[in-house]
Amino acid sequence: MILAGDIGGTKCTLTLFAEDGGKVRSSFRFRAPTRDFSGPAALLKAFLVKARGGGLPKLEIRAAAFGCAGAVVEGRVVTNNLPWIVESKILATSLGLEPDRTLLLNDLVAAAASLPHLSPADLLPLNDAVAQPRAPKALIAAGTGLGEALLFWDGSRYRIFPSEASLTDFAPRNDRELLLVQSLRQRMPRVCSEEVVSGRGFRAIHQIIFPGVQHPWFDDPAIDPAAKITQQALERSCSACVETVQIWTEAYGAEAGNMALRVLPFGGVYVAGGIALRILPKMKDGTFVRVFSDKAKLSRELARIPIYVVLNEDAPVLGAAYEALALVHQES
């Protein structure tokens, strides 16, 4: 068995895979809120209990890989989006594995590793552009935080490089975004892209741009403001929520376009993460694509980059599974 996981700031997904002819096949899946556990050891303990009770009493894990929300530095995740510390040696000890059989990845790197293994049904094109063979690719994903990863062809395959571009300074494009930055600047020493293009950005945009519209559920800790705002926007039951999602989607498209300027990913830009799936009708209405390519002299060129939404929410788990399988093949 191969164990793969996606450890995020909001939820964790762990899946056991069996190898089948060089491919992986899901055998058992476990998902739970991150806040339900005191740390990764407690998470894995609960998972193993569930797996053994779910028909896998003789559980033998050969290798494991985990995509985590944050930068992986010397076997440890550095992030503000996880409530506890994640280290590869803790994961290995909890599973009874050798350290070299346990891999810790940035979650966007894990998602990028899934791209060769996704089916056409897992991808939704947002434009009609055609990918250039062996050209760079890029992946961006907004959720609890914001992540980005880059893929470059090395002559035989794509190699994946992590990025912490979400911590670069947010660049306002218009008066509303300038007001947003000025207000956020009163709360924090600097405003990075992730403060706007992430789940927490919805509430910030709504309360700063529309201060006269204060929903009672803003003060309810049991309600996720991002989920409620996007729900009411899609239902068109709150005009401030509709405009909030418009502003947020434009900021997302602009950041994806900034990423594209740095990499020129004519092999494709892939938009992953739970928020894109939650606001899929908005992602499809042309706003994201329009703002993505609105980059002065290079606008026409960026419009030639194909953009896809990754519909498979477990893409990071799938990518981690294939990275774990590579560990097994490498040693054998």
Per-residue model confidence (pLDDT) at position 16: 94
User: Helix 199-209 vs helix 239-263: angle between axes, to the nearest 10 degrees?
Assistant: 130
Rg (C-alpha) for the chain, rounded Å, is 20
Give mean pLDDT, residues 42-53: 89
Confidence band for 330, pLDDT divided at 50, 70 and 90:
confident
Class of domain 119-311: alpha beta
Residue 293 CB contacts under 8 Å (≥ 6 apart), including other chains: 257, 299, 300, 302, 303, 305
The CATH code belonging to domain 2-107+314-331 is 3.30.420.40
Q: Residue 143: which of 202, 184, 221 has the closest Cα?
A: 202
Q: Residue 65: which of 235, 313, 258, 316 has the closest Cα?
A: 316
CB 260 within 8 A of CB 305: yes
Residue 285 CB contacts under 8 Å (≥ 6 apart), including other chains: none
Q: End-to-end alpha-carbon separation of the chain, Å?
A: 15
Q: Is the pTM of this model over 0.85?
A: yes
DSSP summary character for residue 123: E
Per-residue model confidence (pLDDT) at position 84: 86
DSSP characters over 301-324? HHTTS-EEEE--TTHHHHHHHHHH
Pairing of strands 63-68, 2-7: parallel
Q: How confident is the prediction for the chain on average, in pLDDT?
A: 93
Per-residue model confidence (pLDDT) at position 54: 66
Sheet holding 158-163, edge to edge: 123-125, 307-310, 268-272, 137-142, 146-153, 158-163
The ranges of the chain annotated as CATH 3.30.420.40 are 2-107+314-331
φ/ψ of residue 191, rounded to 5: -110, 110
Q: Residue 137: which of 317, 276, 291, 307 has the closest Cα?
A: 307
Q: Is the pLDDT of residue 60 over 90?
A: no
Give mean pLDDT, residues 240-264: 97
Q: Residue 6: which of 323, 256, 255 has the closest Cα?
A: 323
As to burial, measured by CB atoms within 10 angstroms (0-12 exposed, 13-18 middle, 19+ buried), residue 176 is middle
Least confident of 48-52, 136-140, 224-228, 285-289: 48-52
Percent of the chain with pLDDT over 70: 98
Q: Residue 18: which of 63, 48, 49, 57 has the closest Cα?
A: 63
pLDDT, one tens digit per residue, over 181-216 is 999 999 999 999 999 999 999 999 999 999 999 999
**Which two tokens mark 62?**
């050969």
**Which two tokens mark 284?**
């499809």
Per-residue model confidence (pLDDT) at position 255: 97
pLDDT, one tens digit per residue, over 260-278 is 999 999 999 999 999 999 9
The ranges of the chain annotated as CATH 3.40.367.20 are 119-311
CB 105 within 8 A of CB 117: no
